[in-house]
């Protein structure tokens, strides 16, 4: 018994050391991205501040930030070429935290040095850059708490104190909000860090499990050999029994393999869902406030252009969030009638960035619309285009075509209408023996890649009722074909394209009525009230489902019922939207309810009518989408 206890303790200590080493590896793996973003952001901010801040201050800060970036780059290179790094995890982690702390101090100092009391545009730009760096730093430094705390605390607290120094109520409020934002990011990043540690713990447990299974399989194979020897010594009558035994062993091995894969996907899905939910809440607040600021400015105001660029970045961030949700688990699609042409064009635009390859696009003028989750289908195309780019590292042409197709689905069911998207490259191709496995989870021929890109694409297309296939020959290029069921609704491409662009240029039309909105995020409640009030509605807010039910019942008793209710699905420590919807429906069966959530893979988001809701509003949303969902419900 003491020997088993010592062995268990030794194994636990070894696993703890492996987890810490893996976390440090993640930090240094992300270091290149962080250094590159720091250099670009430093140069952009310095160029902008040269116009409103003393040149000596700007040059001094810029040289400091570039020196810190060089130090971190040098540290990363040393780490990559160090042969003793598994034995010096503590030293490498401390060095990385020091570099992150120096960088955080530099960004915090920017909020103090570049704060202009007379230039509102300068203040907004500095706050935006600092907020972006903090959000980006939180995601890159999340594997270790000492790393993200060393960066986030000085980066967030120094600007907060600078705002509070002015002493007036407005700046005190801004300083307080900046501090609250910093604390919120730290808490969210801490949750992210715990999820990473849990995921790594499951990973090493799975490795131990695989090792034990290998030993068991070896024993089974040894036993099988012995049985075969005995069968050969006996009569042919026992041959059938031996064959059955081999078949059972193979089935057992297959079940064991599927169990290991399922556990890996489950742990990754939990991690991705938690990150995306918090990220969607933050993104909704940022995007909504930027849209609100645009509405309050003149159309030709100078600030309109940078705010529009900010919205474009928010859209790309929302796309990354959707990638997290579909990563490993796939996520239930939240389908809408969408322009497939726009989805293709957006994916190509994203893939063209920084690529030596040329991408030609051919889209049929009468291309049918489809009822899809545009973010998930965009991820499918992005994953395929990424594979095509990697197949032609020296450059070349990728041909993307979108056309209508009638596909025979079954000899009894007949044919179906599909929108067909084909992506063809002229790269190295895929070997014949590898081709059947490219959609398998964790299968990859590339060093350092997860092998989940095409597996995720296959899962997404299948959940949409579509098909994905590939034709390839080694040395002769590859063609991926994605068929998506066409929408039965006869909407023209022009109408769909116009509506897709409406979110960028249209001004929301005014509405009328009494609305109740519930969300546990205070900043989201404030944003919802501001936007809906601007649209002409009378709005009341609630922090959880219980408060929402109470307000609804009181309003109905007073003869001032709400015309529609927006409910968030998940409320930490309180009644959520689903339970609140049930109670409101009991009080008023005619109540019109809208569900909203940052978990777009939640069943209620794809089957909202089954839960008693009239419409769905995924996060992050735009002001025009908020307007449209209430307009549809209130018709």
Q: How confident is the model at residue 539 (pLDDT cuts 50, 70, 90)?
A: very high
**Closest to 498 in 3D by CA, of 603, 341, 627, 390:** 341
Phi, psi of 373 (to 5 degrees): -90, 105
> Minimum mean pLDDT among 1-10, 148-157, 169-178, 474-483: which range?
1-10
When pLDDT is averaged across residues 519-544 and rounded to a whole number, the result is 89
Phi, psi of 510 (to 5 degrees): -75, 150
Q: How far apart are CA 241 and CA 224, in angstroms?
A: 12
Q: Is the pLDDT of residue 143 over 50?
A: yes
Tell me which of 208 and 2 has the higher pLDDT: 208
Q: How confident is the model at residue 493 (pLDDT cuts 50, 70, 90)?
A: very low
Q: How far apart are CA 317 and CA 287, in angstroms?
A: 10
Tell me which of 51 and 123 has the higher pLDDT: 51
> Minimum mean pLDDT among 341-355, 381-395, 404-418, 491-505: which range?
491-505
What does pLDDT average to over the chain? 79
Q: Which residue has the tokens 């790393």?
A: 147
pLDDT value for 567? 92
Q: Which residue has the tokens 């995720």?
A: 456
**What are the sequence ranges of the domains in the chain?**
2-199, 336-485, 504-634
pLDDT value for 522? 87
Question: Which residues, in sequence order, are bridge partners of residue 478?
Answer: 425, 472
> Minimum mean pLDDT among 41-45, 75-79, 95-99, 281-285: which range?
281-285
Q: How far apart are CA 227 and CA 215, in angstroms?
A: 18
pLDDT value for 502? 41
Q: How confident is the model at residue 413 (pLDDT cuts 50, 70, 90)?
A: very low
Q: Is the pLDDT of residue 452 over 80?
A: no
289 is written with which tokens? 């406030």
User: Highest mean pLDDT range out of 75-89, 192-206, 274-288, 436-450?
Assistant: 192-206
When pLDDT is averaged across residues 387-409 and rounded to a whole number, the result is 85
Q: ∠ CA 516-517-521 to the nearest 5 degrees?
A: 155
292 is written with which tokens? 């609100």
> Cβ(597)–Cβ(605) under 8 Å?
yes
Q: Is the pLDDT of residue 498 over 50?
A: no
When pLDDT is averaged across residues 627-631 and rounded to a whole number, the result is 89
pLDDT value for 156? 81
When pLDDT is averaged across residues 322-341 and rounded to a whole number, the result is 67
> Minimum mean pLDDT among 38-47, 205-214, 561-570, 573-582: which range?
205-214
100 is written with which tokens? 């992150």
The CB density around residue 555, as the number of other CB atoms within 10 Å, is 16
Q: How far apart are CA 432 and CA 395, in angstroms?
A: 24
pLDDT value for 400? 93
431 is written with which tokens? 């070997």
When pLDDT is averaged across residues 70-93 and rounded to a whole number, the result is 80
Question: What pTM, to 2 d.p., does this model score?
Answer: 0.40
Tell me which of 1 and 111 has the higher pLDDT: 111
Q: ∠ CA 624-625-629 to the nearest 5 degrees?
A: 120
Q: Write the DSSP string, 192-255.
A: HHHHHHHHHHHHHHHHHHHHHHHHHHHHHHHHHHHHHHHHHHS-GGGHHHHHHHHHHHHHHHHH
User: Highest mean pLDDT range out of 39-53, 215-229, 329-343?
Assistant: 39-53
> Cβ(162)–Cβ(107) under 8 Å?
no
pLDDT value for 65? 87
Q: ∠ CA 35-41-44 to the nearest 5 degrees?
A: 140
> Minimum mean pLDDT among 170-184, 265-279, 485-499, 593-607: which range?
485-499
Q: How far apart are CA 594 and CA 629, in angstroms?
A: 8
Print the SS3 string covering 76-123.
HHHHHCCCCHHHCHHHHHHHHHHHHHHHHHHHHHHHHHCCCCCCHHHH
Q: How far apart are CA 331 and CA 277, in angstroms?
A: 13
Q: How confident is the model at residue 531 (pLDDT cuts 50, 70, 90)?
A: confident
Q: How far apart are CA 221 and CA 227, in angstroms?
A: 10
Q: Which residue has the tokens 């929402």?
A: 548
pLDDT value for 542? 92
What's the CATH code, domain 336-485?
3.30.565.10
Q: What pairing do the DSSP bridges indicate for beta strands 397-410 and 414-425?
A: antiparallel
When pLDDT is averaged across residues 563-573 and rounded to a whole number, the result is 88
When pLDDT is averaged across residues 42-50 and rounded to a whole number, the result is 85
pLDDT value for 406? 86
Q: How far apart are CA 170 and CA 424, in angstroms?
A: 56
pLDDT value for 86? 59
> Minimum mean pLDDT among 67-71, 353-357, 358-362: which range?
353-357
When pLDDT is averaged across residues 439-453 and rounded to a whole number, the result is 61
Q: How far apart are CA 43 and CA 50, in angstroms?
A: 11
Q: Indicate the class that CATH gives domain 504-634.
A: alpha beta
Q: Is the pLDDT of residue 358 over 80?
A: yes
pLDDT value for 259? 60
pLDDT value for 550? 93
Element (H, E) at 352: helix 340-352
Q: Is the pLDDT of residue 329 over 70?
A: no
**Closest to 614 in 3D by CA, of 595, 586, 635, 587:** 595
Q: Which residue has the tokens 């503590």?
A: 90
In the chain, pLDDT over 90 holds for what percent of residues?
13
The CB density around residue 610, as the number of other CB atoms within 10 Å, is 9
Q: How far apart are CA 122 and CA 126, in angstroms?
A: 6
524 is written with which tokens? 């989201």
Q: How confident is the model at residue 572 (pLDDT cuts 50, 70, 90)?
A: confident
Q: How far apart are CA 227 and CA 233, in angstroms?
A: 10
pLDDT value for 508? 46
Burial class of residue 409 in the structure, from the number of CB atoms within 10 Å of its CB (0-12 exposed, 13-18 middle, 19+ buried):
middle
Half-sphere exposure of 125 (CA within 13 A, CB side): 23
Tell me which of 449 and 355 has the higher pLDDT: 355
Q: Which residue has the tokens 């689905």?
A: 409
Q: Provide Rg for the chain, Cα atoms.
A: 28
When pLDDT is averaged across residues 101-128 and rounded to a whole number, the result is 78
pLDDT value for 189? 83
When pLDDT is averaged across residues 46-75 and rounded to a whole number, the result is 87
155 is written with which tokens? 């980066």
Q: Is the pLDDT of residue 494 over 50?
A: no
pLDDT value for 499? 44
What is the rounded end-to-end Cα distance, in angstroms, of the chain?
Answer: 73
Q: How confident is the model at residue 419 (pLDDT cuts 50, 70, 90)?
A: very high
Q: Which residues, including other chains, have CB under 8 Å from residue 210's CB and lie 6 or more apart?
A: 260
**What separation in angstroms does the CA of 379 have from each of 376, 450, 473, 507, 548?**
5, 16, 25, 29, 36
Q: Is the pLDDT of residue 217 over 60?
A: yes
pLDDT value for 541? 94
Q: How confident is the model at residue 497 (pLDDT cuts 50, 70, 90)?
A: very low
């Amino acid at each position: 018994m003491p020997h088993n206890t010592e062995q268990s303790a030794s194994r636990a200590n070894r696993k703890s050391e492996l987890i810490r080493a893996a976390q440090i590896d993640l930090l240094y793996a992300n270091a290149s991205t962080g250094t590159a973003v720091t250099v670009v952001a430093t140069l952009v901010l310095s160029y902008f501040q040269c116009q409103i801040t003393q040149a000596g201050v700007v040059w001094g800060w810029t040289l400091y930030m570039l020196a810190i970036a060089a130090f971190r780059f040098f540290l990363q290179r040393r780490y990559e070429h160090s042969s003793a790094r598994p034995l010096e995890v503590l030293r490498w982690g401390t060095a990385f935290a020091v570099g992150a702390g120096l960088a955080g101090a530099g960004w915090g100092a920017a909020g103090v040095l570049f704060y202009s009391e007379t230039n509102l545009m300068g203040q907004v730009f500095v706050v935006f850059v600092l907020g972006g760096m903090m959000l980006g730093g939180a995601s890159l430094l999340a594997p270790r708490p000492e790393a993200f705390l060393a960066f986030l605390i000085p980066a967030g607290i120094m600007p907060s104190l600078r705002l509070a120094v002015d002493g007036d109520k407005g700046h005190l409020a801004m300083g307080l909000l900046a501090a609250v934002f910093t604390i919120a990011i730290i808490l969210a990043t801490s949750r992210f860090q715990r999820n990473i540690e849990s995921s790594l713990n499951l990973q090493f447990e799975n490795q131990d499990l695989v090792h034990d299974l290998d030993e068991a399989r070896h024993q089974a194979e040894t036993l099988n050999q012995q049985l075969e020897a005995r069968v050969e010594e006996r009569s042919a009558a026992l041959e059938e029994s031996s064959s059955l035994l081999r078949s059972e062993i193979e089935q057992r091995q297959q079940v064991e393999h599927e169990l290991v894969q399922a556990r890996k996907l489950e742990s990754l899905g939990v991690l991705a869902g938690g990150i995306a939910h918090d990220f969607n809440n933050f993104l909704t607040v940022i995007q909504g406030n930027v849209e609100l600021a645009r509405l309050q400015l003149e159309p030709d105001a100078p600030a309109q252009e940078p705010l529009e660029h900010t919205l474009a970045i928010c859209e790309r961030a929302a796309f990354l969030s959707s990638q997290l949700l579909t990563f490993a688990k796939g996520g239930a699609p939240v389908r809408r009638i969408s322009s497939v042409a726009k989805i293709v064009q957006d994916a190509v635009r994203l893939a063209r960035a920084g690529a030596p390859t040329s991408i030609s696009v051919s889209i049929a003028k009468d291309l049918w619309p489809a009822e899809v989750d545009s973010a998930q289908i965009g991820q499918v195309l992005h994953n395929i285009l990424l594979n095509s780019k990697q197949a032609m590292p020296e450059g070349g042409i990728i041909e993307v075509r979108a056309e209508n197709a009638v596909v025979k689905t079954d000899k009894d069911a007949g044919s179906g209408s599909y929108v067909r998207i084909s992506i063809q490259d002229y790269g190295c191709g895929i070997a014949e023996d590898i081709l059947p496995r490219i959609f398998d989870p964790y299968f990859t021929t590339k060093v350092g890649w997860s092998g989940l890109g095409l597996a995720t694409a296959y899962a997404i297309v299948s959940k949409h009722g579509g098909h994905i296939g590939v034709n390839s020959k080694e040395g002769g290029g590859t063609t991926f074909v994605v068929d998506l069921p066409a929408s039965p609704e006869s909407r023209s491409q022009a109408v769909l394209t116009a509506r897709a662009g409406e979110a960028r240029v249209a001004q929301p039309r005014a509405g009328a009525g009494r609305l109740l909105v519930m969300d546990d995020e205070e900043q989201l409640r404030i944003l919802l009230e501001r936007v809906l009030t601007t649209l002409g509605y009378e709005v009341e807010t609630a922090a959880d489902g219980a408060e929402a039910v109470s307000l609804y019942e009181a309003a109905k008793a007073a003869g001032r019922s709400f015309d529609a209710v927006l409910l968030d699905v998940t409320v930490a420590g309180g009644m959520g939207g689903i339970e609140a919807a049930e109670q409101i429906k009991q009080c008023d069966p005619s109540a019109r309810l809208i569900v909203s959530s940052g978990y777009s893979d939640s069943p209620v988001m794809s089957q909202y009518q089954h839960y008693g809701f009239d419409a769905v509003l995924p996060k992050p949303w735009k002001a025009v989408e908020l307007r449209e969902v209430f307009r549809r419900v209130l018709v």
